[in-house]
Structure 1
């Protein structure tokens, strides 16, 4: 059996929807020779989010020092065993066929992202307003979009070959936008595809990290973007490509 490792960071207080996340993962149908594992890492040492998870041998749960989501995800990556890596937020819901489409796409390319549907607090949904066309992503598309402050995808849908993620150092040590950083780094060294079929319900709620006004403090937010763009630029200028 081959394995796709689903990487989720969680913290005490941010775990109230993780039961729904698990159910959506449990219902995924994979090709016959594939299985999933779920590497859940707590940003902190309370152990409380683990109480919301069932007993399932496919789940591993670890705790660690508070260090924010990028470090937390990279710790989960270290114990993953899959050929492929897929990110999944602790408050999101996978849609039917999401992992199967990732697997099929990653037979052709080193990385991919997919469309998502916003899930609002009142239960209403809305598709992504700026989705690119499905298929191969033109070189530097997302890099230029970030420079223009108009990224057209949710980078939390990122999936890739594990060796590529490891070669890039996992999630860049930032206070946020770490999935965008990994997306731009992967785009700089390898071709990818956009899957037009939505893969997640992206839950919008007042307690999510990006809903905090502290997250969008101008200097903090600008520094994050500057750091991830600098890394992507350095990779592009190096001429290195992932084989």
Structure 2
């Protein structure tokens, strides 16, 4: 059996939807020779988010010093055994066929992102308004979009070959935008694809990290983007390509 490792970071107080996340993962239908594992890592040492997880041998749970989501995801990545990696936030819901489409796409390319549907507190949904067309992506598309202060995808849908993620150093150790950082790093060294069929319900709620005004403090936010753009630029200038 081949494995796709689903990577989820969670913190105490941010775990209230994680059972829904698990149920959506449990209902995924994979090709006959594939299985999933769920590497859940707490940003902290309370152990409380683990109480919301079922007893399932496909789940591993770890704790660690509080260091924000990028470091937390990297700790989960260290436990991953799969050929492929898929990012999944602790408050999001996978849609049917999401992992199967990732697996099929990653037979052709080294990374992919997919469409998502916003899930609002009142239960209504709305598709992403700026999705690119499905299929192969231009090699600088997302780099230029971030330069122009826009991004047409949710980078939290990122999936890739595990060895590529390891070679890139995992999620860049930033206070946010770490999924964008990994997306741009992967784009800099190898081709990817966009899956037009939505893969997640992206839950909108007041307690999500990006809903905080503090998260968007101008100097902090600008520094994050500057750091991830510098890394992507350095990779491009190096000429190194992932085979």
TM-score past 0.5 threshold:
yes
For structure 1, list consecutive stretches of 5 or more residues without a partner in the other structure: none
Residue 179 of structure 1: CA displacement?
A: 0.2
Residue 136 of structure 1: CA displacement?
A: 0.1
Distance between the aligned counterparts of 1:140 and 1:85, measured in 2?
22
Q: Deviations over 1:81-137 (max 9, x none)?
A: 000000000000000000000000000000000000000000000000000000000
Residue 143 of structure 1: CA displacement?
A: 0.2
List 4+ stretches of structure 1 deviating above 4 A: none
What pairs up with 1:104-143 in 2 under 5 angstroms?
A: 104-143=104-143
What pairs up with 1:155-170 in 2 under 5 angstroms?
A: 155-170=155-170
What pairs up with 1:185-200 in 2 under 5 angstroms?
A: 185-200=185-200
The root-mean-square deviation of aligned C-alpha atoms, in Å, is: 0.2
| 3-state secondary structure, aligned to 2:44 | coil
Distance between the aligned counterparts of 1:36 and 1:205, measured in 2?
28
Residue 70 of structure 1: CA displacement?
A: 0.1
Q: Deviations over 1:6-25 (max 9, x none)?
A: 00000000000000000000
Residue 150 of structure 1: CA displacement?
A: 1.0
1:221 aligns with 2:221: yes
Residue 51 of structure 1: CA displacement?
A: 0.3
Query: What does residue 37 of structure 2 align with?
Result: 37
Query: What does residue 21 of structure 2 align with?
Result: 21
Q: Deviations over 1:181-211 (max 9, x none)?
A: 0000000000000000000000000000000
Q: Deviations over 1:17-40 (max 9, x none)?
A: 000000000000000000000000
| 3-state secondary structure, aligned to 1:215 | helix
Query: What does residue 231 of structure 2 align with?
Result: 231
Residue 178 of structure 1: CA displacement?
A: 0.2
| 3-state secondary structure, aligned to 1:231 | helix
Distance between the aligned counterparts of 1:69 and 1:238, measured in 2?
28
Residue 175 of structure 1: CA displacement?
A: 0.1
Query: What does residue 82 of structure 2 align with?
Result: 82
